[in-house]
Amino acid sequence: MGKFVIIDPSISGDGGHYLEYALRVLKAAGREGWSLVLGVNKTFDVTIDRKLSIDVEPIFTYDIWGRDLSASAKEIAPATEDERRQMRRLFSRSGLLWQLAAHPDVARIYLGETGLPERIAKRLTRLVPVYTAAQERQSRRRAVAGEAGFADEMASLRRDISAL
């Protein structure tokens, strides 16, 4: 029998509804005895086609919307140790509570809907005045000492937080 060809320049990865739809149609055509060909974007990982039992041809530079998908797939530099430390701190329990303390009204609405363990709610209640005082103190110090006073402010904040 002849070839059954699907051409979709938007297929660029190993998942998604474009690929899923194309594979279902191709498998149905394969059951009818057709030789299967799939024309895809050049960003498609051709090692995947070994698993598909389909002749995959990565020939398109642009997707159906005219975007060059290879241009949007640039490598992101790995995080530095300092960035990883900041992320751990930001998403720690204390870091998340600190973020909630920045917006107590929003936090109350959200937490009223989702619930919060009582001990953490008590911690948050104690943290809001500390956060407010820290913001005021930080503003004063920056106005007086500029950025040089920032390190002292951070040390003071750490002491306040650890006292909670």
Tokens representing 115 are 């619930």
pLDDT tens for each residue of 43-81: 887 666 566 678 888 999 888 888 887 776 556 678 889
Please say if the pLDDT value at position 130 is more than 90.
no
Question: What pLDDT does residue 74 have?
Answer: 59
Q: How many Cβ atoms are within 10 Å of 124's Cβ, its own excluded?
A: 21
- Exposed, middle or buried: residue 83 (CB in 10 Å: 0-12, 13-18, 19+)? exposed
Read off the amino acid at residue 114: T
- Domain-wise residue ranges, the chain: 3-60, 81-162
Cα separation, 101 vs 131, whole angstroms: 6
Question: What pLDDT does residue 29 have?
Answer: 92
Read off the amino acid at residue 14: D
C-alpha 83: how far from its chain's center? Answer: 15
**Beta partners for residue 35, in sequence order:** 3
Q: What are the DSSP calls for 97-139, one per residue?
A: HHHHHHSHHHHHHHHHHH---HHHHHHHHHHHHHHHHHHHHHH
pLDDT tens for each residue of 133-161: 888 887 777 776 655 566 666 677 677 76
Cα separation, 4 vs 29, whole angstroms: 7
Determine if the pTM surpasses 0.75: no
Read off the amino acid at residue 97: L
Residues 123/92/130/81 CA torsion (nearest 10 deg): 160
